[in-house]
Structure 1
Amino acid sequence: MSCVLEVCVDDIAGLDAAQQGGADRIELCSSLGCGGLTPSAGLMAEAARRSLPVIALIRPRSGGFVYSEAEARVMQHDIARAAELGLAGVAIGALTPERQLDLALLERLIRAAAGRLQLTLHRAFDLVREPGAALEAAIALGFQRVLTSGGAPTAPAGAAQLAALVRQSQGRIRILAGSGIRPDNVAGLLAATGVHEVHASCRAPARETPEGELLALGFSEAQAWLCAADTVRAMHLQIRSHGTPKAH
């Protein structure tokens, strides 16, 4: 089994760069600076025109993953919209105040997908108290993959937990390693964990300096980061040179 590279992007330029660089799949969001939020309907529609499978992140706000009833309705609507627009899937997640998967809400969100979308359990998983039990719950709910850093700030730091999740999964669900993965560490991560899917932003500092007026008025950041096609290519090169990860 070859390794899949999923690149997360939050704008049109990122879509173009990820596709040009050879990404296998896109995770589409807005506001990557806070971990990603739900993309606009317009951005989802544009992404649906591309040849790559696109997974829309469904996250209505920054912060934690315990949601109100109103937020749940927003997420249901956004999932239905992603399906209507022809995206490949959605990345969803929700927790209880006790940091267990919110099974009731997740079942509602899955019903909103109406069987038309791939299902990724996003990094809310990294906050659960019992990852092994949460993985079994995700399998029972019908998720195709879990995006996780192994409960650590970065996937390389969580490599031991990622390897344990791969062993537990026994091919029933795919472990998608994400956070802090770069061309210079991806081969080592594959070797240490046995994961077959990796998730990365492949961003580099923007070369252009923002206009002074835009910066002064708060319309631009002093240092912007953009998905770079060269970084996507470099990531793919390292993945191919490593070969197929071995099962752990």
Structure 2
Amino acid sequence: MLEVCVESVAGIGAAVAGGADRIELCAALAVGGLTPPLSLIRQAASAPIATHLLARPRDGNFRYGAGDAALVAQDITTAAEAGLAGVVIGASDASGRLDADMLAGWVAHARAAGQARGRPLSLTLHRAFDLCPDLFEALETAVHLGFDRILTSGGQPRAADALDTLAALVARADGRIIILPGSGIDTSNVAAILRTGAQEVHASCRSPLGEASEAEQRFGFQNGAALQTDPAKVSALKAMVRRA
């Protein structure tokens, strides 16, 4: 399965056209993704493939106070009410480990929201996981909390630099939870990623849209070339995943 993260209406269309199996819907991919606007969520709900909503209220770390935690809970409700297939969430405590209490509250909220609409929300733990001091301890926490999958680059900035760790995580998961490698995955390394035993991969499949104008950069509206989901890259990556 190929999941493509997108941040725009054009990105949704490109992911679908390229043959993606699932969308992770975000905003601000330049900072790892944030919760997208309601208007984009409603647009994604009509896509012909499953869409999972990233619920991340701000950039920076994943240590959240009560206010941020309430925003994530509301985002989970929004995903359910819009008819999306799942949510992508994560939180850390002061030690860098998963904040199990906060996550347990969100998981319970997601289950209730899914029951209210008659279909459960799929639950992905995002890359707050990669900042944990012990990834295998964090995996067991995620299993205990009831997550369906973990989006991870194996504790490195790029998944291709953590192949041994990813393989070990897949082995430790042992079918109890899905390991979803992501970060820097493309046609040059997806075969190696899949040899870890992973059955799902996550990628952005973006290409430069064109250089920002001098005025756009001077006013701070754009920092360098804009990137946009490329249907040709989605299609090429999907073909390699299918062959594997």
TM bucket normalised to smaller = over 0.9
Q: Give the unaligned 5+ runs of structure 1.
A: 244-248
Amino acid at match of 2:203: A
Q: Tell me how far 1:160 sits from its aligned partner.
A: 0.7
CA distance in 1, matches of 2:144, 2:83: 25
Using the aligned pairs only, state the percent identity.
Answer: 48
Q: Tell me how far 1:65 sits from its aligned partner.
A: 0.6
1:90-169 aligned within 5 A: 90-113=87-110, 114=112, 115=114, 116-169=120-173
2:238 is the alignment partner of 1:236:
yes
Q: Secondary structure at the match of 2:239?
A: helix
Of the three residues 46, 54, 58, the one matched with 2:43 is: 46
Q: Tell me how far 1:111 sits from its aligned partner.
A: 2.0
CA distance in 2, matches of 1:60, 1:45: 18
CA deviations over 1:139-176 (Å, ceiling 9, x no partner): 11110000000001111101111100100111111000
Aligned to 1:226: 228
2:191 is the alignment partner of 1:194:
no
* TM-score under structure 2 length normalisation: 0.94
Aligned to 2:16: 19
Q: Secondary structure at the match of 1:126?
A: helix
CA deviations over 1:171-200 (Å, ceiling 9, x no partner): 111000000101111012212x11001000
* TM-score under structure 1 length normalisation: 0.92
Q: Tell me how far 1:40 sits from its aligned partner.
A: 1.0
CA distance in 2, matches of 1:190, 1:5: 11
Aligned to 1:174: 178
CA distance in 2, matches of 1:140, 1:222: 43
Q: Secondary structure at the match of 1:146?
A: strand
Aligned to 1:246: none
Amino acid at match of 2:232: D
CA deviations over 1:46-66 (Å, ceiling 9, x no partner): 100111100000101111111
2:28 is the alignment partner of 1:31:
yes
Q: Tell me how far 1:214 sits from its aligned partner.
A: 3.7
Aligned to 2:117: none
Of the three residues 62, 80, 83, the one matched with 1:83 is: 80
Amino acid at match of 1:195: A
* Root mean square deviation, CA, Å: 1.2
CA distance in 1, matches of 2:60, 2:223: 21
CA distance in 2, matches of 1:218, 1:200: 27
Q: Tell me how far 1:211 sits from its aligned partner.
A: 4.5
Whether the aligned pair in 1 keeps the contact of 2:163 and 2:192 (CA below 8 Å) is no
Q: Tell me how far 1:219 sits from its aligned partner.
A: 2.7
CA distance in 2, matches of 1:69, 1:157: 35
Of the three residues 6, 9, 15, the one matched with 1:9 is: 6
Amino acid at match of 2:229: C
Of the three residues 57, 64, 67, the one matched with 1:67 is: 64
